[in-house]
Structure 1
Amino acid sequence: MPAAVLPALTPYLATAGIGWLYYRRIRRSFGRQRWQPKRTLARLLLVSLVAVSLIGAAVFLPHVGVSIGIGSVLGGVLGVFALKYTHAQVTDGQRFYTPNPWIGGGLSLLLLGRLAWRWSQGALAGGSAQAAQQANPLTLGIAATLIAYSLVYTSGLLLRMRQLAPAQTPSD
C-alpha cells in the first residue's frame, strides 16, 4: 500500500473501528452473556482511568464540574438499579448473566444520540486547538453518567458473580 493512501484512509478506518466498538458495547446490553472475569477486570481498570480523567476535567474546567457531578450521581443510581434487574446463573459449570436490556440500550442510545448531535454541529471536526472549547457541560455530564454507571455496574457484577457457586470442572 503506498504511503499516501494510508493517511487518506485513516478517517475511514478510525470510523469503522469506533463503529465496531459501539456494536460490541450495544451487543453486551442484550441477552445472556458469558461471564469473563479477566475481561471484566480489564474493563474496570480502563473505566477507572477514564473516571480519573473526568475528575481532572471537573477540577480544571470549573464550568463543567456540576454537570460531571450530577452525571456521576445519576450513573451510580442507574448502575445500582441495573444490578437489581440483572440475573446471574450457573449453567453447565459456566457462569452467565443477563443484563436489563432497557437500561443498557437506553444509555447506548443516549451516547450515540449525543455523538450524532455533536457531529452534526461540526464539533468533532476540529483539531486539538478546539478541544478546550468543546468541553461542553452536557457532553461531559453524559460521559460521567456512562462512566459512573459502568463503574458501579461492573463492580457490582464482579461481586455478584464471585458469590455464585464456583464453576465446576468436569471430572475425568
Structure 2
Amino acid sequence: MPAAFLPALTPYLATAGIGWLYYRRIRRSFGRQPWQPRRTIARLVLVCLVALALASAAIFMPHTSLGIAVGAVAGAALGVVSLQHTHAQVIADKRYYTPNQWIGGGLSLLLLGRLAWRWNQGMFSNGPGEAAQQTSPLTMGIAATLIAYSLVYSSGLLLRMRALAIPNMEAGQGP
C-alpha cells in the first residue's frame, strides 16, 4: 500500500480502533469473566491517572465542577450497587466473576449516547481546540460517572477476588 493512501485511511482506521475499544468495554459487561488481576491493577492505575486529570479539569474549568462532582458521586454509588450484584466464583481452580449486565450495559449506552449526541452537534468536526473551549458540564459529569464507577468497581472487585479462596490452595495442595 503506497504511503499516499494512509492519510485518506486515517479517519476510517481511527473509527475502527475506537469501535474495537467500545466493543471490548461492552463485552466486559456481560456474562462470566475470567479474573485477571494484572489487567485489573493496570486498569486501576490508568483510571487513577484519568481521575487526576478530571479533578484538575474541575479546578481549571470551574463551570464544569458541579457536573464532575455530581457525576463522581453517582458513579461511586453505581459502583457500590454493581459490586453488590456481582457474583464471584471458583470453577476448576480458576476465579471468575459475573458483573451486573444492567448497570454495565446502561453505562456503556450512556457513554455511546453522549458521544453520538456530541458528534451530531458537530463537536468533533472543528478540531480539538474548539472542543476544549466548549466543554460541557454534562459531558464532564458523564466522564466523572464512568471514572468513579470504574475506580470503585475495580478496587472492590480486586478486594473481593483476592479474598475468594481457591479450595486446593487452602488445603496446601498448590494451584
TM-score normalised by L of structure 2 = 0.94
- The 2-side partners of 1:33 and 1:87 are apart by 10
Letter in 2 for 1:116: A
Give the match for residue 5 of structure 1. Answer: 5
Give the match for residue 16 of structure 2. Answer: 16
- The 2-side partners of 1:44 and 1:5 are apart by 38
* 1:90-115 alpha-carbon deviations (Å, 9 max, x no partner): 11100000000000000000000000
Letter in 2 for 1:13: L
Give the match for residue 153 of structure 2. Answer: 153
Q: Is the 8 A contact 2:83 2:156 kept in 1?
A: yes
Give the match for residue 102 of structure 1. Answer: 102
Q: Is the 8 A contact 1:67 1:138 kept in 2?
A: yes
Give the match for residue 68 of structure 2. Answer: 68
Q: Which runs of 5+ in 1 are unaligned?
A: none
* 1:42-69 alpha-carbon deviations (Å, 9 max, x no partner): 1111111111110010000000001000
State the number of aligned residues: 172
- The 1-side partners of 2:20 and 2:92 are apart by 31
**Percent of aligned pairs with the same residue?**
70
Match runs of 1:11-160 below 5 Å: 11-160=11-160
Q: By how many angstroms is 1:168 displaced?
A: 4.3
TM-score normalised by L of structure 1 = 0.96
Q: Which runs of 5+ in 2 are unaligned?
A: none
- The 2-side partners of 1:36 and 1:133 are apart by 39
Cα 1:22–1:101, aligned 2, differ >3 Å: closer, same or farther?
same
Q: By how many angstroms is 1:134 displaced?
A: 2.8
Letter in 1 for 2:121: Q
Question: Over the residues paired in the alignment, what is the CA RMSD in angstroms?
Answer: 1.6
Q: By how many angstroms is 1:167 displaced?
A: 7.1
Cα 1:131–1:167, aligned 2, differ >3 Å: closer, same or farther?
farther
Q: Is the 8 A contact 1:94 1:167 kept in 2?
A: no
Letter in 1 for 2:147: I
Q: Which runs of 4+ in 1 moved over 3 A?
A: 166-172
